[in-house]
Amino acid sequence: MLFLDVQGTLLSDEDKSLIKGSKELIEHLNLNNIPYVIITNNTKNLSLLKDLRLAGLDIKENAYLDPFCVLSYKIKPCKVAAYGANAFLQSLQSLGYKLEYKKPEAVLIASYDNFSFDDFASMIEFANLEIKIIAMHETSIYKKNSRSYPGVGSIMAMLHYATNCKYEVVGKPSKAFYEQALTLLQKQNKNAKFSDVLIISDDFKGDLLKAKDIGMKTALVLSGKIKSTANLDTNKLDFVYSSVNDYLKEIQ
């Protein structure tokens, strides 16, 4: 049974094309009735599942999860101070959330490469007012144009250091996200449990460490943000592959 990351694992960080073996891996899983869930920290595109299918990944029903899917369990549509890319803000509004930066009911934070210090100051002010803060995920870094940018996890670490605030995480690697993914997996195999799951991702810190802590087997692919295991605690890894194509060869 598998949890499969998207960016850097199934899709290239460089041009969003399918990484070699991605299409064939999904076909193999479908053909052999192997339970899987596609897990992603996408917070921009509400149609990502449709886009992945159009790109050639024949993802079956009830086998996809992103932070938007979990958000409504944490907080129903309400007035929010949201920070992230325009696509994120637009997606929130499409889901019924209203943008409010004076008296919000919650603060939502996603990835963005153009945050200003004024944005950070506002986050700090809301944190000091003890307004509910939700991180859309907790990725340490993300890749764009071959450069590494601080992910939401890094921003939340800064915010916590500045204010000692508490916050919730709806995407990876929160237990709430993984539990929701397990619920989807159990629709394919009712006896599925975390110890049955192999999670494959290019994000050691942002995906695999906490997955290992709750009992999953972990596989790092070197096709995304990490190119070698140097300086990583390899005791937390069960497998390392250059890409999902190597994993596919192993299970065929």
- 195-222 average pLDDT score: 96
pLDDT of 102 strictly over 90: yes
Give percent of the chain with pLDDT exceeding 70.
Answer: 100
Tokens standing for residue 121: 């100051």
- Beta-ladder partners of 132: 106
**Residue 146: count of CB within 10 angstroms of its CB:** 7
Sign of CA dihedral 3, 8, 10, 16: positive
In this predicted structure, what is the pLDDT of residue 203?
93
- 74-99 average pLDDT score: 96
Sign of CA dihedral 11, 214, 250, 220: positive
Q: What global pTM score does this model have?
A: 0.92
In this predicted structure, what is the pLDDT of residue 15?
86
DSSP calls for the chain: -EEE--BTTTB-TTT-PBPTTHHHHHHHHHHTT--EEEE----S-TTHHHHHHHTT--PPTT-EE-HHHHHHHH--S-EEEEES-HHHHHHHHHTT-EE-SSS-SEEEE---S---HHHHHHHHHHHHTT-EEEES---SEEEETTEEEE-HHHHHHHHHHHH----EE-STT-HHHHHHHHHHHHTT-TT--GGG-EEEES-IIIIIHHHHHTT-EEEEESSSS----TTS-GGG-SEEESSHHHHHHHH-
Domains of the chain: 2-66+172-251 (3.40.50.1000), 69-169 (3.40.50.1000)
Phi/psi of residue 91, each to 5°?
-65, -40
**Average pLDDT score over the chain:** 95
The C-alpha atoms of residue 1 and residue 138 are separated, in whole angstroms, by 24
- 160-185 average pLDDT score: 96
- Write a three-state SS string for 195-209: HHCEEEECCHHHHHH
- 200-214 average pLDDT score: 94
Q: What is the pLDDT of residues 118-169, one digit of tens each?
A: 999 999 999 999 999 999 999 888 878 878 889 999 999 999 999 999 999 9
In this predicted structure, what is the pLDDT of residue 13?
84
Q: What is the pLDDT of residues 2-27, one digit of tens each?
A: 999 999 999 998 888 999 999 999 99
Tokens standing for residue 43: 């917070």
pLDDT of 175 strictly over 90: yes
pLDDT band at residue 174, thresholds of 50, 70 and 90?
very high
The C-alpha atoms of residue 237 and residue 218 are separated, in whole angstroms, by 5
Q: What is the pLDDT of residues 30-43, one digit of tens each?
A: 999 999 999 999 99
Which of 53-67, 94-108, 191-205, 221-235 is predicted with the least confidence, judged by mean pLDDT?
221-235
Tokens standing for residue 238: 């069960």
Asked if residues 182 and 193 have their Cβ atoms less than 8 Å apart, the reply is yes
pLDDT of 240 strictly over 90: yes
CA 110 → CA 87, 91, 95, 199, 251, distances in Å?
A: 11, 12, 16, 23, 36
In this predicted structure, what is the pLDDT of residue 73?
87
Tokens standing for residue 248: 């596919």
- 218-222 average pLDDT score: 97
